[in-house]
Every structure is written in C-alpha cells, then in structure tokens.
Amino acid sequence: MDLFIGPRKRLVEHLREKGISDERVLKAIEKVPRHLFVPETTQAYAYDDTALPIGYGQTISQPYTVAFMLEKLNVEPGHKVLDVGTGSGYQAALLSELGADVYSIERIYPLYEEAKERLANLGYDNVKVFYRDGWIGLPEYAPYDRIIVAAAAPQTPEKLLKQLKIGGIMIIPIGDEYFQKLVRIKRIGENEYEKEDLGPFVFVPLKKGKE
Ligand code: SAH
C-alpha cells in the first residue's frame, strides 16, 4: 500500500493553487512516487513543495519549479526529449508519464548510476540515462523536440541549441550563482531562435565536464 497517496494529492492541490493548470502535468505529479527519488531520511518531506538534497551537493528540484517548467515545455506523447541533469531521475519520470521518449544525461557518475537503476526498477522503460556532460549534450540521438535543463548556465550551450529540432522548444535557467532566470527558447530556423523570459528561479549550476 502506498501511504503517500494522500500527501501526493495534497501537493497537486497546492500546485494548482500556485497557478499550475496543465492537467497532464498535474496528473503525472499525482502518479510519480517522489518519495522513492529522495534519500530515506528525507522521505517525510518528499511531498512538501521544496527542493531536497540527493547527495554530491545536488538537489531534487522543487515540485513547483518542475511543474512550471513542464507546463511551459508543452510535451506531447511521442516527443523525443533531452533531459539535462538527471539528478534523482524524478523529472525524467514525469516526462515519461507525459508520453515522451526521454534521453536523460548526468555528469556525476554515482547519481547517474542510481537514477538509471531507480528508473528501471520503477518500470520507466521509455527513459534512457547516459553519463554525459550537458555542455556537449547527446548528439547521437539529436534532434530533439524538446530540451529541458535542470541546472543554470551563464549562457545557453551552443551545442544544445544545435540539437534542438526546428520548431522545437528548450527551457533552460540562465544566470550566475546569484541570480538565474528561466528562459524558453524556440528554434524557428536553422540559425534563428526566439527567446522568452519566464522569470526568476533558483537552480544549481550547470558544471563543465564529468565527475
Ligand atoms: N532533474 C533533476 C534535478 C537535479 S539538480 C531531478 O529531477 O532530480 C541538477 C542536476 O544537474 C544535478 O544532478 C547535477 O549534477 C546535474 N548537472 C550539473 N551540470 C551538469 C552537466 N554539465 N551535465 C549533466 N548534468 C549536470
């Protein structure tokens, strides 16, 4: 029996009150067992609307932030999605619930391994996890309909822009260690991109290279 059904429903109601209205995103959040993506010692807080530590100096993002990003990403079933910064794998699981074929990359080896095993155990067969650097992306499976980045960069990695389909959308936090804003980028031509500022948020940095 899943003792967390109630708390998960309450989290969904809270997100609704905060302005999330995409029913598919809310349904995915109601379904994915976030408590299985955080360390056992913090499971009691898994359905609070807060980021939590997952080790190696990293965090699972705040549910509101993830919901907001997913709402703005407009994922449709069958989309090929590049998820940069696997972390716990929670966001990858939500993307999978939205019907995407997910390619998720992580630069910290133990996090990569843990997330890969966790997602496989939970039956998320349409998520593939890779040990890669987000500054380089995953060119062998490009182009992607959607790219979502869970760590902030001073500027958008050029290689990721090139891995986006024409007509595709990328959501990425841009900024330094003190201030970051979420940006939605639409690739409208070979070398043409349309940018929209989605407001300030807090993210860990998109680091260079692998660990
Ligand atoms: N989507 C994650 C959020 C994790 S926080 C979740 O749902 O849990 C951001 C993650 O991005 C961290 O795990 C961090 O290690 C990773 N990251 C930071 N820089 C990266 C890079 N250059 N390439 C790949 N992953 C990176």
The residue count of the chain comes to 211
Query: How far apart (Å, rounded) are the C-alpha atoms in residues 107 and 124?
Result: 21
CA proximity to 151, closest of 80, 89, 201: 201
- Amino acid making up residue 86: T
pTM for this model (two decimals): 0.97
Query: How far apart (Å, rounded) are the C-alpha atoms in residues 136 and 35?
Result: 31
pLDDT at 46: 97
Residues of the chain with confidence (pLDDT) below 50:
none
Residue 143, preceding peptide bond in cis (omega within 30° of 0): yes
* Structural contact between residues 81 and 104, judged by C-beta atoms closer than 8 angstroms: no
pLDDT at 178: 84
- Cα of 21 to ligand 1 centre, how many Å? 26
Q: Which two tokens stand for residue 191?
A: 């070398």
Domain chopping of the chain, boundaries: 5-200
* Structural contact between residues 150 and 203, judged by C-beta atoms closer than 8 angstroms: yes
Q: Which two tokens stand for residue 44?
A: 């009691």
pLDDT at 3: 84
User: Which residue CA neighbors atom 21 of ligand 1 most closely?
Assistant: 134
Read off the pLDDT of residues 106-136 as tens digits, 9 standing for 90 and up.
999 999 999 999 999 999 999 999 999 999 9
Read off the pLDDT of residues 59-77 as tens digits, 9 standing for 90 and up.
999 999 999 999 999 999 9
Please work out whether the CB of residue 106 comes within 6 Å of at least one atom of ligand 1: yes
Please work out whether the CB of residue 65 comes within 6 Å of at least one atom of ligand 1: no
* Structural contact between residues 60 and 88, judged by C-beta atoms closer than 8 angstroms: yes
Query: How far apart (Å, rounded) are the C-alpha atoms in residues 79 and 40?
Result: 33
Q: Is 61 in the active site?
A: yes
- Cα of 84 to ligand 1 centre, how many Å? 6
Query: How far apart (Å, rounded) are the C-alpha atoms in residues 129 and 102?
Result: 8
User: Which residue CA neighbors atom 19 of ligand 1 most closely?
Assistant: 206
Please work out whether the CB of residue 52 comes within 6 Å of at least one atom of ligand 1: no
Q: Which atom of ligand 1 is nearest the CA belonging to 37?
A: 8
Instruction: State the SS3 of 122-176.
Output: CCCCCEEEEECCCCCCCHHHCCEEEEEECEEECCCCHHHHHCEEEEEEEEEEEEC
pLDDT at 114: 98
CA proximity to 170, closest of 144, 201, 133: 144
DSSP SS3 for 185: strand
What's the CATH superfamily of 5-200? Vaccinia Virus protein VP39 (3.40.50.150)
